[in-house]
Amino acid sequence: MKPEARTPVFTLRPEARASKCHFLKRHLFHTPPAITIADADLTGKTAIITGGNSGLGLETARHLLDLGGRVILAVRDEAKGQAAVDNLVHGRQLAPDMIQVWPLDMSNYQSILAFAEKAKSLCTLDIVILNAAVIKAAEQFGSSGYEESFQTNYLSTALVLLLLLPIVKEKRSSGSTGRFAITSSDWASWAKFDGGGPGAILPQFKKPRQPWDGMNTYGIGKLFNQLFVWELVKRVSSSDVVITHPDPGMNNSNLGRGASGITLLVLKIATALLARDPSVGSRTLVHSVTTLGATAQGHCVEDENIEPLAPVLYTAEGQRLAERLYEETLDELSFAKVRELVGGTASDKQSDSELVSAGKSPATDDGRLDRFVTIVKTS
């Protein structure tokens, strides 16, 4: 099934949204509105949240429970997951199955495969929030051969997305659209990555990168999520599933728990000056899976609005990078037969990079979302 034509309206141009000025303005002068059950009633719906035992994940779970939803916390440490459950149930009267803790180690492919297999047993699955992420103070390589933060923030996130996508399509509540949210960051726009040259992209992250920059590697992971989903949504109908990149801004959470040195110092100063409380920042994640429609497909969600992705996505170079990364990622994860899950062959239409090079907008006759959309200013 071809994705439907959709026309979102951004409030900002990609370059403006990526600016440090906008980042400061957003944190100093705007707060995402709260969502009530009158806005989104999740009664009877089930949500999975990775990284759900603290910070943004924990507060997102609290919001979803307030909206009547059932929540599954996907966590590496089950004891911490149970402590999160105790926190969430305090002062509530909930049925025992309204909050569950499932083990999920995002650094281990076998754990991810087992988690997805367990998800097949659910009666309903409507929402998946891929929130687990890490910033590393020092470069470390895991059992897969990849740098650990890149593994968690990109490759494992892509695998969970691909494995759960057909399950959500099948198990979503009758008449509802399935929702995926991949927690994003302004660092997706700020990350420095030269495109990798003519060789393969992914193997670069099996080699030491000198000097090590944990924040930039974190940003590359977030950028790669956007690049990968840009290609994925060509193959996903927004009437079945909507995939978004909510950017909650800077929050006072434990994301930087692995940081040290200058990275930790910068994080502490910025957090003290600008950070939102996770109970506020998490509203953006909730908006992305409740109040926004099909026009959000593949896009960033900032506070309560649909906004552009990283500026590089709107260039011919970015289009080529997205196409290469998508194919490499499906090859890397081929052990899980992911191409069979998404119908992973490339479209026979002109590629986005060809359209951009020709001075045209990607998505007209093929029914794709026109990502070079009307930009309007808000007062």
Q: Which of 170-174, 202-206, 264-268, 285-289 has the lowest mean pLDDT?
A: 264-268
The most confident of the ranges 30-34, 122-126, 368-372 is: 122-126
pTM: 0.89
Q: Mean of the pLDDT values across residues 103-130? A: 98
What average pLDDT does the segment 25-54 reach?
Answer: 95
Supply the pLDDT for residue 265: 72
**Residues 329 and 273 sit within 8 Å (Cβ to Cβ):** no
- On the question of pLDDT at 376 being above 60, the answer is no
Out of 45, 136, 171, 222, the active site residue is 222
What mean pLDDT is predicted for residues 286-313?
Answer: 96
Query: Residue 197 above 90 pLDDT?
Result: no
Residues 139-149 pLDDT 10s: 999 999 999 99
Q: Residue 271 has what pLDDT?
A: 73
Per-residue pLDDT, averaged over 137-164, amounts to: 97
The pLDDT, as a whole number, for residue 377 is: 44
pLDDT for 73 beyond 70: yes
- Three-state DSSP state, 36: coil
Place of tokens 């000025």: 21
192 three-state secondary structure: coil
Set 109, 154, 218, 326: catalytic member: 218
pLDDT exceeds cutoff 80 at 308: yes
User: Catalytic annotation on 144?
Assistant: no
What pLDDT does residue 324 have?
96
Active-site option among 156, 184, 253, 282: 184
Give the lowest-confidence range in 55-69, 73-87, 267-281, 320-334.
Answer: 267-281
% the chain with pLDDT above 90: 75
Query: What is the model's pLDDT at position 198?
Result: 75
How many angstroms separate the Cα of 16 from the Cα of each of 11, 92, 372, 375?
A: 10, 43, 15, 11
pLDDT of residue 99: 97
Where is pLDDT greater, at 151 or 379? 151
List pLDDT tens digits, range 18-34: 999 999 999 989 999 99
Q: Indicate the SS3 state at residue 40.
A: coil
20 is catalytic: no
Beta carbons of 247 and 312 less than 8 angstroms apart: no
Mean pLDDT of the 345-360 span: 46
What is the pairing mode between strands 99-103 and 70-75?
A: parallel
- Judged by average pLDDT, the poorest of 5-19, 87-101, 316-330 is 5-19
Share the mean pLDDT of the chain: 88
Query: Which whole number is the average pLDDT over 171-176?
Result: 94
Q: Is 296 helix (H, G, I), strand (E, B) or coil?
A: helix
> What is 14-339's CATH number, 3.40.50.1100, 3.40.50.720, 3.30.9.60, 3.40.50.2020?
3.40.50.720
- Domain edges within the chain: 14-339
* pLDDT for the residue 364: 32
Eight-state DSSP code of residue 261? H
Pinpoint the alpha helices (H) of the chain: 14-17, 20-29, 55-66, 78-89, 109-119, 148-150, 157-171, 187-190, 214-232, 261-274, 278-290, 316-332, 338-342, 352-357
Query: Is residue 132 pLDDT above 50, yes or no?
Result: yes
222 in active site: yes
Minimal CA–CA distance to 324: which of 214, 213, 238, 197?
Answer: 197
Q: Identify the pLDDT of residue 255.
A: 55
pLDDT at 274: 80
pLDDT band per the 50, 70, 90 thresholds, residue 82: very high
Q: Is 358 helix (H, G, I), strand (E, B) or coil?
A: coil
